[in-house]
Amino acid sequence: MVIGFFVGSLFLSVGASLVKENYNYILDCNSGDYSKQLNIDMKINEGLNIEKIKSIFQKLGKYGEIQILSLGGVETDNGVLQIVPVEAKNQGDWHIPIINGNYLDGQCGQVVLGKDAADALKSKKGKNVSINGKKYNVRGICGRENRETIWDNAIYMEFEDYISSFGNDFYNPQKKNNYIMVLKNGKDEFINEFGDIEQKLSNYGVEIVYEEMERNIDGSSLDNSIAITAIASCLVFFIAIINIINLMNYWMMERKKEIGIMKAMGALNGFIIKWVVVEMTMISSMGAILALFIQFVINVLFKSMLVSYGVNINLSFTNLLLAILVSALCGVISALLIVRKSVMFNPIEVISCE
């Protein structure tokens, strides 16, 4: 019985990990929820001073997180690391995935490095790194452990820090400057107030336009993986329940004398049913825990191989919840289907026969 629940729980838990990874992949390809984001293109004409430019970007940051994507980078032996300034008074519910540490929190003097950028700068979370002659604390490392992402060679820093380090590269007053940005959240408020924004910026010789984000990848693969996981798990659990019911028939027959003695001593049918259901719940939970342990061992022993294939079967609270709850539910159902009939007998006849 434990093996039956173990197999079903293992299918369910691994499937849940793969569904979660597929979901993360879709989010990564769309840089989060594309429907909540905007592409913004801003052109600044000659003559504005750097302080005015700073105030414009800081005011745009009130709507949500602004990332400026069109700027230069830092030269290293491993290539150019893209600098991404971030201005945000109101961070959204999704940001670049963090492998270790945390995302930017609005405090100056900190950076988030892509995993390849961290290797190129020979740095890690909690250490200081020198960028363009200034030292910054590495608040986090971003990317995914099991595959490449578009953030692997990026350096994220606060907009104020970028201006202090790269102000001369950011704005050239002798030419027309063009900035490509992404508004990560606050889309509706920005669109509602865009007329006022456009009018105010035009007074300074600034042109601004926006466009809706387009989905880079659809969710059909996620739907397929969920369906496959659900169908496979249901089939495995269905087969497991049938086998467990057959085993329980023999199990209850073997324990019929024991149950008869309990009934003869005054135990009610409800007490016996609860007793058997608790035992089956414990057995099913043992199968689920064993499945989670095996998945953990497989992930540890074969992690490098799984990563090379872009597979992620890391355990999470979701795996624990699904495996234990579904196994326990199946155990209860199996027990109730058998035990309700098995206790309906006269204990005297059973004891006398023995």
pLDDT per residue as tens, the chain (354 positions): 677 778 778 877 887 887 788 788 888 888 888 888 999 998 887 667 778 888 888 888 888 889 988 787 888 877 889 999 998 766 677 888 999 999 998 889 999 999 999 999 999 999 999 988 899 999 999 998 888 898 999 999 998 898 888 877 777 665 667 888 999 888 899 999 999 999 988 888 888 999 998 877 665 665 666 677 667 767 776 776 677 777 777 776 777 777 777 777 777 777 877 887 888 888 888 888 888 899 889 888 887 787 777 677 888 888 888 888 888 887 787 777 777 666 665 556 555 555
Neighbouring-strand partners of residue 157? 85, 111
Helical (H) or strand (E) element with 334: helix 317-342
Residue 91 amino acid letter:
Q
Per-residue model confidence (pLDDT) at position 167: 75
Per-position b or e across 336-346, b if 16+ CB within 10 A of its CB: eebbeebbeee
Is-contact 343 269, C-beta < 8 A?
yes
Q: Which residue has the tokens 């005011």?
A: 59
Per-position b or e across 11-29, b if 16+ CB within 10 A of its CB: bbbbbbbbbbbbebbbbbe
Cα distances from 36 to residues 150, 156, 267, 273, 324, in angstroms, run 19, 21, 61, 52, 35
Per-position b or e across 159-183, b if 16+ CB within 10 A of its CB: bbbbbebbeeebbeeeeebebebbb
CA–CA gap between residue 209 and residue 41 (Å, rounded): 5
Per-residue model confidence (pLDDT) at position 15: 78
Per-residue model confidence (pLDDT) at position 6: 81
Per-residue model confidence (pLDDT) at position 154: 93
Strands 206-212 and 38-44: antiparallel
Question: Which of the 8 DSSP states describes residue 184?
Answer: -
